[in-house]
Amino acid sequence: MSSKTSKPVMRSAAWRISLWATLAFACGTMLAFVFLQSFVANDIQRRSDAWLSGEVEVLGDVAERTPKDALYDRVVGEVAELAGKEVPNKLPSESNSNDSVFFLQTGLDGSLKLWVGTGNGAADLKAIQATSVVSDRPVDVRVSGFGVPFRVASTKIGDGTRIYLGLSERDELRVLRSLRLRFFVLWLLLVLLGFLIVFFTTRRMLSHVRGITEAASRIGSTDLNTRVPTTMRNDEVAQLALTLNHMLDRIENSMHQLHTITDSLAHDLRSPLTAIRGKLETSLSTARDGEQAEPIVCAIEELDRLTDFLNKSLDVAEAKADALRLSPSEIDMDELLRAMIDLYEPSMSDKTLRVSLTSGGPLKIVADAALIHRMIANLFDNELKHLPAGCRVSIRLEPKNGAASLVLEDNGPGFEDEIRPHLFERRVKGRESNGHGLGLAFVEAVVRAHGGTVSASNRQGGGAQIAISLPLAPREGAHFPVAVMSGSK
Amino acid sequence: MRLLLVEDEVDIQSFLRCSLEEAGYQVEAAADGKTAERLAADGVYDVLIVDLGLPDQDGITLILRLRQMGVRAPVLILSARRSVDDRVRGLEQGGDDYLTKPFALAELLARLRNLIRRNSPQPSEATRLRVQDLELDLLRREALRSGQDLQLTPQEFVLLEYLCRNAGRVVTRSMILDQVWGMRIQPDTNVVDVHIYRLRGKVDGKGQQPLIRTLRGVGYVLKDK
């Protein structure tokens, strides 16, 4: 993982995937816990209800059998107190007083007859009467002054009085609360752990994908030797890499095929051209003076034009197929334009053409020097050949949106309307032109091969405008993505 | 100067042999790698010309084998290929030179001279150049003809200096573009001729013997006698 392309973590796919996965995991476990907790809560209640029902029956039995004498209150009270010590789910409390259980007996008129518990029982009685506890099935009773409700069971004994046994749900709730608390802590840890596991696994997996993307973009159109990294695992990512590499194999193969064709074409034409040129030069040296020399000189010049045409059309053909071979180096466009103007200025002023350069100083691009030189020379040749006398050519060089923007303007006749839409096509030239119609096609080919753009138009006030934009050289220390494969001359 | 020419195309070999012999080289020619190796083992050469497309082996393989055999002479590589092999680039950095077909004879000869000069001890750099009554002060960047300052622009001075350094030898337009302007281009227009014309206007004044001669179809020469 290189640091230059890493985005903020929050915007990565790994982050999103882990968020969603964690959310699903958290909801799932939470649902499972709610279900589990209600099951436990029901079970606890069932146990305390069973105890209550059993105890209230025993107490009812005791109350019924105990003679109604002076000792009655004490006997029943003690039995009730004893029962209160065997409360289920009881947690050790700090105070000796047992406030989690009460025993209450009402008289025939409903008044409080016997009370065992904390306080005087008035509030409890009121609450019981308000809820009208009648059966021996325990029900919830909220007693004022207590935070948690009581579970109360009652039974009617033989003399027509009722006894009530109440058990505070405090301990039960405390058990459940501690269960919830433990679960919550555990749940948080699990969710966090799950998130981290998912995040790091996805990130690792996606880093392979990113590695592939980075490598693939580096490979681009010039450096087809390298392949995207593959892993030993046979998962989707590995298959993606394999598929990409297969595709690159095929592209490299057809690119290689194209190069072989253009190379052998160049070779097959150049060898005889060399022999012809050599022979012409030899015969020129023996027939240097007189009219004999003239046709030989013409033939040599034609031959050089033919060679230039051959080179240019092969370059254009390769560039159209995105297969132009580049050997990049750093070029200062400002310096190059000044040298080019220096070279062309005498020819231009002979034709009373004026040329001016507006530039803000050195502007470096990384490009194939030979191709860029030929491209700029082409533009100047065009102006020199097509402009009528007395015209003005102004050249503007400036950095614009991370690219070197080069604009050539003249106040000549501009491009003819019928060829304007096809300016960058091969064999397209103006009626007056005696060139081979490769000039602008070659310019476009070179600009395209360097990842730039070119446009040609007629200016409003008359005259032609050609605007070229070439990517600027990366700053010092930055990595240049286009690797050197092989250059063309 | 003994020269070994390795070129399989008969036509090219024969005209190169003629021209090179005319230029004063003792030429031995080979049409394939095997013969070249045998010749190189037997004789000592000052410079080699090797074509990359040989019938029996790759030109670069041949050069590397010759180097292993102890051949130290510089090599001028000829190629009709479009792309410059990385290995050729490597050889170029090792002091050898490279020329694409088709080429002008003058350029081939100039490159050969450069290769040989680079391999021999350098004479101390002169500060003045003199060709007949033309005199160039390389430090003050002044050119004088018969004692008269020619009032050259810096660019004209560089052009004249290049012609003087090659006085008596033909230089082509593409050599001038390469050496004076640092560009490997083939302009469709006569930009170099115009520069030469202007320079000639200053150097060859009225009543003076013309020094800069045009060889049509070939290039220019500054006469040294």
pLDDT at B35: 92
Which of B82, B101, B190 lies closest to A347 in CB terms?
B190
Measure in Å the smallest separation between the Cα of A7 and chain B Cα atoms.
37
Q: What is the pLDDT of residue A479?
A: 44
Tokens of A222: 């010039």
* Nearest residue to B89 (alpha-carbon basis) of B55, B52, B53: B52
Strand partners, A458: A464
Contact A273 B104 (CB under 8 A): no
Chain A hits for B175, Cβ within 8 Å: none
The fraction of chain A above a pLDDT of 90, given in percent, is 24
CA distance A263 to A260: 5
* Per-residue model confidence (pLDDT) at position A409: 92
* Among A residues 288-347, those touching chain B with beta carbons less than 8 Å apart: 288, 293-294, 296-298, 300-301, 303-305, 307-308, 311, 314, 325, 327, 339-340, 342-344, 346-347
Q: Could you tell me the pTM of the whole model?
A: 0.66
Pairs of residues, one from chain A and one from chain B, whose beta carbons lie less than 8 Å apart: 140
Q: What average pLDDT does chain A have?
A: 82
Surface-to-core class of residue A420, CB atoms within 10 Å of its CB (0-12 exposed, 13-18 middle, 19+ buried): middle
What confidence score (pLDDT) does residue A182 get? 92
Specify the range with the lowest mean pLDDT, choosing from A3-17, A22-36, B176-190. A3-17
Residue B159 identity (one-letter amino acid): L
pLDDT value for A373: 92
pLDDT score recorded for residue A486 = 39
Pairing of strands A487-488, B134-137: unpaired
Per-residue pLDDT reduced to its tens digit, A140-152: 888 877 778 888 8
Please, which residues have CB within 8 angstroms of residue A272's CB and are 6 or more apart in sequence? Answer: B11
CA B156 to chain A, closest CA, distance in angstroms equals 11
In this structure, what token pair is assigned to residue B156? 């004209």
In this structure, of A198-212, A431-445, B68-82, B115-129, the range with the lowest mean pLDDT score is A431-445
Pairing of strands A150-156, A139-141: antiparallel
SS3 state at A240: helix
State the Cα–Cα distance between residues A203 and A201, nearest whole angstrom. 5
pLDDT per position as a tens digit, A278-308: 988 888 877 756 677 888 888 888 898 888 8
Cα–Cα distance measured from residue B156 to residue A155, given in angstroms and rounded to the nearest whole number: 128
Model confidence band, residue A268 (pLDDT cutoffs 50, 70, 90): confident
The percent helix, strand, coil of chain B (3-state, each to 5) is 40, 25, 40
Over residues B27-49, the pLDDT tens digits come to 999 999 999 999 998 888 999 99
Residues of chain B in contact with residue A327, where contact means CB-CB under 8 angstroms, are 84, 89
Whether the predicted pLDDT of A220 surpasses 70: no
Query: Is the Cβ pair A277, B9 closer than 8 Å?
Result: no
Chain A contact for B154, CB < 8 A? no
% of chain A exceeding 70 in pLDDT: 88
Contact status, residue A315 vs residue A488, Cβ threshold 8 Å: yes
**How far, CA to CA in Å, does A35 sit from each of A23, A41, A49, A144?**
18, 10, 21, 31
